[in-house]
Structure 1
Amino acid sequence: MIKIVMIIVLVGLALSVFFFLVNTGSGENMNTAVYTEDHEPRIGHVELQVSDLDESAQFYEDLIGFSVLERSGSTVELTADGTSPQLILTHNNNFEARSPRTTGLYHLAILVPTRQDLALSIQHLTASGYPLQGAADHQYSEALYLADPDGNGIEIYTDRNPKEWVRDDNGGYVGATDQLDLENLFAEVGDAEWDGLAEGTRIGHMHLQASDLEASEAFYVDALGFDIVAQDSHMLFVSKDAYHHNIGMNTWMGTDIPQPSENTLGLKRFTFHLTEDEYREAKAGLTEGNFQFEEENEALMVEDPTGVELKLILKSE
């Protein structure tokens, strides 16, 4: 069984996301807090515009493992913790297909607590016959890749102990795209059986398809105060709390690609939680950078350079 699963998953390995050695000078100033389930999630929820609400809801419930928190009209709220929405699906008959060569979502990344949880997800998806796109060991994490019925990229991953994450001389993280050791991973399963996403699952990071990394850096780093943790000529990873990345951006499809229309299928917005100091600094940075934003109920609403709506929320301390 293990050998069969390994073959199926590794067929798509070439389609995995590629990571590179990083080059950044911001590492020395990073917060050293560990990004674990003991801390409030940085990313609250992700909103996707879908072509078929029933099909997408069934996919995310039956195959990925979310539970339906609430369903109302053209919206389904999904959760892994049973209390707060982590993925919100909306449908409108006017939604249109997204061109691959536009800015927006590259993938949303679901962080599961343990290697056993990742192994169970891989086994479950493989047994279902749903097509997988790849799997990889990124040094600081182990990951599986696939897409939802509308082609939205999904990563399901688990982090290694942060003490094992490798940094370069400048303080940034050294990533990799190595073969995932599935036999070793499946040894974690034991007698456990898949029963949906485990308690403690969260949206770990967002990866966006960008058109101008300088514009993205001006927005996320200069205005919002994120730290650069990985960077080369075609990618930029930024984070808070010294995480390996909360938000990734790439121009692998080229530069100066257009933004999709408001009615395009795919990522509509996501929320990100900030401390009181970070919130104040972000507001000042957006103002100084002449970015248009709105503020309501301790939340800043702004559009990033890829056209994705970002809601910055003052988090509880």
Structure 2
Amino acid sequence: MNVATYTGASEPRIGYVELQVSDLERSVEFYQKLIGFSILKKDDNTVQLTADGVSPHLILTQSEDFVERPSRSTGLYHLAILVPTRQDLALAFTHLMEADYPMQGASDHQYSEALYLADPDNNGIEIYADRDSAEWVRDNSGGYVGATNQLDFEGLLSEIKDAKWTGLSKGTRIGHMHLQASDLEASKKFYVEALGFDIVAQDSHMLFVSKDAYHHHIGMNTWAGTGIPKPPENALGLMHFTFHLNQDEYEAAKNGLTKANFQFQENDQTITTEDPSGIKLKLILKN
């Protein structure tokens, strides 16, 4: 358990998320007009979306032979877009309300405030803003105490003042990934023992892990059941996501995967691997 205090000074840990979508044009329109990304690069069947105009944060891909992802299968629970300020969150909320887009929920999680919705292919999305890490509550073992309390909409909306929604602010990043897993003990062996993540919260159906003492970079749950299968290779939804490691972490991850007999490939300072739930990730060396 990492009991250091999160400072936010480290560079973003999650790079980009790649999704398989059923209608590329429709998904691009959604992520541009409703969420606020802009196009970084596009070709016939792939579009890279960005919040800062420099790095891809979301890659959308459409292939002709896609199939629906079974609901009781591993993969994406939601991808979480971290906006820099509470005002950004308030503006996102009012923009979605004005567009009359259906929301799935809104919560105060103690360490963050969050909005929930889904994209046109029913991929879960969280848009959230962190509270000051000095306010995050820890339990006796050093983990973070989360909550699912009602969001203070009145307080949130008071942050807007004269600001107008103009898309995602430059400091926006993919803050965390929440995954539908098949076996949390197997996930723990992969993410904690092999890759060196710290456990920051856990119970019998949920495991949250992170680097840098963050409240979670990767969340996993078995709420859909234990032992659920991975979806077909060409299913809609999560194709893979990337995670940044420093030199020491990268070498330790390589050693950990080797020692635990997890399969991986290494190419151009990138480790490509698959967790025990069949979820693909790329570990990228960042200096």
TM range (shorter): over 0.9
Give 1:33 deviation, angstroms. Answer: 4.5
The one of 214, 217, 221 aligned to 1:243: 214
1:202 correspondence with 2:173: yes
Deviation sequence 1:187-234 (CA, Å, 0-9, x none): 000000000001100000000000100010000000000000000000
The one of 71, 91, 112 aligned to 1:120: 91
Deviation sequence 1:239-258 (CA, Å, 0-9, x none): 00000000000000110101
SS at match of 1:313: strand
Please name the residue that 1:191 is paired with: 162
Please name the residue that 2:131 is paired with: 160
Please name the residue that 1:171 is paired with: 142
Give the Cα–Cα distance (whole angstroms) in 2 for the partners of residues 27 and 232 of structure 1. Answer: 18
Q: Is contact 1:107–1:206 with CA below 8 Å preserved after alignment?
A: yes
Deviation sequence 1:166-193 (CA, Å, 0-9, x none): 0011100000000000000000000000
Q: Is contact 1:27–1:170 with CA below 8 Å preserved after alignment?
A: no
Give the Cα–Cα distance (whole angstroms) in 1 for the partners of residues 45 and 11 of structure 2. Answer: 29
Question: CA RMSD for the aligned pairs?
Answer: 0.8
Please name the residue that 1:266 is paired with: 237
> With structure 1 as the length reference, what TM-score do the two structures score?
0.89
Please name the residue that 1:92 is paired with: 63
The one of 46, 51, 75 aligned to 2:17: 46
SS at match of 1:285: helix
Tell me the amino acid that sits aligned with residue 155 of structure 1. Answer: E
Q: Is contact 2:199–2:207 with CA below 8 Å preserved after alignment?
A: yes
Tell me the amino acid that sits aligned with residue 218 of structure 1. Answer: K
Give the Cα–Cα distance (whole angstroms) in 2 for the partners of residues 296 and 33 of structure 1. Answer: 31
Give the Cα–Cα distance (whole angstroms) in 2 for the partners of residues 129 and 141 of structure 1. Answer: 24
Give the Cα–Cα distance (whole angstroms) in 2 for the partners of residues 95 and 124 of structure 1. Answer: 31
How many percent identity over aligned positions? 68
Give the Cα–Cα distance (whole angstroms) in 1 for the partners of residues 60 and 275 of structure 2. Answer: 21
Q: Provide structure 2 residue ranges, at least 5 long, that are not aligned to the other structure.
A: none
SS at match of 2:174: strand
Q: Provide structure 1 residue ranges, at least 5 long, that are not aligned to the other structure.
A: 1-25
The one of 33, 37, 44 aligned to 1:62: 33
Give 1:27 deviation, angstroms. Answer: 3.6
Give the Cα–Cα distance (whole angstroms) in 2 for the partners of residues 307 and 121 of structure 1. Answer: 33
Give the Cα–Cα distance (whole angstroms) in 1 for the partners of residues 229 and 197 of structure 2. Answer: 25
Tell me the amino acid that sits aligned with residue 216 of structure 1. Answer: S
Please name the residue that 1:15 is paired with: none
Tell me the amino acid that sits aligned with residue 201 of structure 1. Answer: T
Give the Cα–Cα distance (whole angstroms) in 2 for the partners of residues 39 and 71 of structure 1. Answer: 30
1:78 correspondence with 2:44: no
SS at match of 1:283: helix
Give 1:117 deviation, angstroms. Answer: 0.1
Give the Cα–Cα distance (whole angstroms) in 2 for the partners of residues 68 and 45 of structure 1. Answer: 14
SS at match of 1:190: coil
Tell me the amino acid that sits aligned with residue 206 of structure 1. Answer: M
Q: Is contact 1:63–1:125 with CA below 8 Å preserved after alignment?
A: yes
Give 1:259 deviation, angstroms. Answer: 0.4
SS at match of 1:119: helix
The one of 261, 271, 281 aligned to 1:300: 271
Q: Is contact 2:191–2:197 with CA below 8 Å preserved after alignment?
A: yes
Q: Is contact 1:99–1:260 with CA below 8 Å preserved after alignment?
A: yes
SS at match of 1:268: strand
Give 1:32 deviation, angstroms. Answer: 3.7
Give the Cα–Cα distance (whole angstroms) in 1 for the partners of residues 37 and 277 of structure 2. Answer: 27
1:311 correspondence with 2:282: yes
Give 1:40 deviation, angstroms. Answer: 1.3
Give the Cα–Cα distance (whole angstroms) in 2 for the partners of residues 49 and 308 of structure 1. Answer: 13
Count residues in correspondence.
287
Give the Cα–Cα distance (whole angstroms) in 1 for the partners of residues 235 and 82 of structure 2. Answer: 26
Tell me the amino acid that sits aligned with residue 95 of structure 1. Answer: F
Give the Cα–Cα distance (whole angstroms) in 2 for the partners of residues 180 and 267 of structure 1. Answer: 28
> With structure 2 as the length reference, what TM-score do the two structures score?
0.99
Q: Is contact 1:52–1:91 with CA below 8 Å preserved after alignment?
A: yes
